[in-house]
A and B are shown apart, each in its own frame.
Chain A
Amino acid sequence: MAEVTLEDVTKVYGEEVVAVRDMNLDIPDGEFVVFVGPSGCGKSTALRMIAGLEDITQGKVFIGDNVVNDLPPRERDIAMVFQNYALYPHMNVRENMGFALKLRKMNKSEINRRVEEAARILSIERFLDRKPKALSGGQRQRVALGRAIVREPKAFLMDEPLSNLDAKLRVQMRTEISKLHNRIGTTTIYVTHDQTEAMTMADRIVVLKDGIVQQIADPQHMYEYPDNIFVAGFIGSPAMNFIRARLERENGGHVVTFGRTRIPVSNEVAHTAKERHNKDIGEFANKEVILGIRPEHIEDASIAEGMEGMKFSDKENVMEVDPQVIESMGSEKYVYFEIPREHAAHLETLEEMVGEGGGDGDGQGASPEASGDMMVARVSAESHAHRGDKMRLAIDANKIHLFDPETEKAIL
């Protein structure tokens, strides 16, 4: 086990295609780090540079205390799990798992011991003598994991290991990988395009876009305090709603307005935001800002009014909407509604995300709604929201986000 460090790591393909730019990252021993971002963001390239499958154009990669830039993969002592499992088709499960150990000339009884131990952990003992093609997707992925753990490597690298599994199995394997990590404790770098996987598994998430690290933080922090519009839109499901609004000064404080809706920003909130983002929201007074509201921070106003502790009571931070679609999830309802065109954010950043389809169709990650005029609110199941009936939605003023429309950086 070892820590993994990236120092100004850059990858350039050909003359000018920059896949990863100046990536800096310190992964302490035993941490589970997830690289997440849309495809083409450089997350897999970064992983492959750590693995030694890609040359590093600039910068340094350390595994433990050693710079590994010029070491071939086999001298880096890392194990990797591939999206398509990459099991050797002509070897049975036992041979697949023991291959690395055999190459190291480990004695047979030790290989057997380790393979059987790993098989037991992953409950694949029954399949040891089968060929990969006689296994289901989930079983193959277990074998691939097994092949990694028998090595007892310094670090595990996982490149979208669950993407080829169906939704249900993916959720199950997600938990299993987390359990496995808790048990073995090996430093793990996990690449995915699925923000749900990132949120649920990571100790820390690294969000990448166009080869540039957008933010590195633990899941909760990233959810609560995204650094910019991209992270805000990418993390969280359903995705955050963005609205073009104005910031106005009022009674010594500030208020965010769009249409007839007015959301007050308390001085307290403004103050902590200034400390966090190093930017005074006062600079944006009387200017356009991008307002970000998570669907879960919008409630049916008739229900919100009865709630305590939430800043829904103010009649002003309410908007009247015309629900287009209502999805009942049982525990809650998703209310989809349009906002007037002039308030729609139409951000390029977000449209890129939409193209990726976020989380593989199981409703995770960025949804098409993020880019258009369509907004979504996640209201209580008790809500009487009905398609075609106008309704009032209350916004939790404490939970709003504001972004600079120019730099797209968070200011609140």
Chain B
Amino acid sequence: MRGTTSTRTRPKGGTAQTPVPRRKRGFLGRALDLPALHRQQRYNAIFFILPGLLVYLAFMVYPFLDTIYLSFTNWNGVADTKHWVGLANYARMFGDGTVLKAFWNNVIWVVIGTISPVIIGLLLALLLWSGVRGSLLFRTIYFLPFILPLVVVGIVWQWIYHPLFGVLNKALNAVGLKGLARGWLGDPHTALYAVLAAAIWATFGFVVVVLLAALQNVDMSLVEAAMIDGANWFQRARHIVIPQIAPVLTMVTTITLIGGFSVFDIVFVMTGGGPGHSSEVLATYTYKTAFQQNEAGYGSALSMLITALSFVSAVVFVRLRERQR
């Protein structure tokens, strides 16, 4: 009798009402441990995640971990045997002049290759947004290079830069600047910048389109308020519009920036890192080391360097941005 009374007085669904002590849980823990999520739903979730997860594990996580392992060996890429060499590959990097050269080229690439398309893209996006006629046409034209594979861009620009038949030299001759004409990709002083120019041409359109999309969400009454407050075009852009699209601007910048340390295809197609190592970047050097010079161990270590640099630059940039906000 007493038992029934106690059952009756207990509030219904008592377990749901008792406050669950908040434990610190990881993302996965939280996802799988939601109180509202029933056991069955949890299994369903795993079922749906599993295929993607397996692909990810097999083609991303395993190679990544394996590369870390290889970077501590002297494997030549084909042999059955490899020896553990500890940190030797990493130590070797510091003495390798080409690594330093490639690193600096990457820094140049990151700085110029990030800043230019973002600035060009931002200016063009702002101009188009301020009501230039034929905005759609321009948007399409600017975006076209971005949908070309970088390899195609590289080949096209190789022709533009061609010492004898290239449009660039012909144009320079035509306007009387013959002295400036040169073998752009063959000249160690210009090779890197010539490739960079082609890459910028291929990316700024992406920035334009993404920023234009962001600009559509700008609260026009803020712009009008600023006009009435006395701000000219430049001041409105700087004080009102850019702060409003800042998150998207950060995103595009980060995308271009992270790509900067891992750039490979366009350089490889246009100059292969040459002449000499004048346009060498870490990725092309890594490729050559690992697959042409059969030093897979050292190549793995180099690729770890690229990973670390990309990671650090992304983290630093996002943190900086967050602090600004």
The residues of A with any CB-CB pair to B shorter than 8 Å are 51-53, 72-74, 78-80, 82-84, 86-90, 99-100, 103-104, 147, 151
Contacts and interface: CB of A to CB of B under 8 A. Distances in A.
A88 B232 contact: no
B33 interface: no
Contact of A74 (B219, B221, B230): B230
Contact of A89 (B226, B230, B232, B244): B244
A74 B231 contact: yes
B227 A103 contact: no
A72 to B, nearest CB: 7
Contacts of A104: 230
Contacts of A151: 229
Contacts of A53: 224, 227-228
Interface string B51-85: 00000000000000000000000000000000000
Most central of B219, B228, B229, B239 by chain A CB within 10 Å: B228
Interface of B: 219, 221-222, 224-232, 235, 239-240, 243-244, 246
Contact of B221 (A86, A99, A103): A86
B244 A100 contact: no
Contact of B230 (A84, A86, A87, A103): A103
Nearest to B233: A72
Top 4 A-B pairs ranked by shortest CB distance?
A100-B229, A74-B230, A86-B225, A86-B221
A90 B222 CA distance: 11
A86 B227 contact: no
B240 A74 contact: no
Given A86-B219, A86-B221, A88-B222, A51 B228 contact: yes
Given A88-B240, A103-B235, A82 B229 contact: no
Contacts of B235: 103
Nearest to B246: A90
A84 B221 CA distance: 8
Contact of B239 (A82, A83, A87, A88): A88
Given A82-B221, A86-B221, A88-B240, A103 B229 contact: yes
A237 B28 CA distance: 60
Most central of A52, A53, A78 by chain B CB within 10 Å: A53
Given A78-B228, A87-B225, A147-B229, 4 more contacts: A53-B228, A72-B227, A86-B221, A90-B244
B225 A82 contact: yes
Contacts of B227: 52-53, 72-74
Nearest to B230: A74
A82 B225 CA distance: 8
Interface SS majority for chain B: helix
A285 B211 CA distance: 69
22 contacts: A51-B224, A73-B228, A74-B227, A74-B228, A74-B230, A74-B231, A80-B225, A80-B228, A82-B221, A83-B221, A84-B221, A86-B219, A88-B226, A88-B243, A90-B243, A99-B226, A99-B229, A100-B229, A100-B230, A103-B230, A103-B235, A151-B229
Most central of B226, B230, B240, B243 by chain A CB within 10 Å: B230
A78 B227 CA distance: 11
A86 B224 contact: yes
A121 B224 CA distance: 25
Given A86-B221, A88-B222, A79 B244 contact: no
A89 B232 CA distance: 19
Given A74-B231, A103-B230, A104-B230, A82 B244 contact: no
A344 to B, nearest CB: 42
Contacts of A88: 222, 225-226, 239-240, 243
A82 B223 CA distance: 12
A86 B220 CA distance: 9
B29 to A, nearest CB: 32
A99 B232 contact: no
A51 B235 CA distance: 19
Nearest to A103: B230
A88 B239 CA distance: 9
A74 B224 CA distance: 10
B277 to A, nearest CB: 45
A87 B221 CA distance: 9
Contacts of A72: 227
Nearest to B224: A53
B50 to A, nearest CB: 42
A81 to B, nearest CB: 9
Contacts of A83: 221
A144 to B, nearest CB: 8
A86 to B, nearest CB: 4
A249 B225 CA distance: 60
Contacts of A103: 229-231, 235
Contacts of B224: 51, 53, 73, 80, 82, 86
Contacts of B228: 51-53, 73-74, 78-80, 100
A51 B221 CA distance: 13
A194 to B, nearest CB: 20
Nearest to B240: A88
A83 B224 CA distance: 12
B285 to A, nearest CB: 43
A32 to B, nearest CB: 19
Contacts of B222: 86, 88-89
Contacts of B226: 88, 99
A390 B231 CA distance: 66
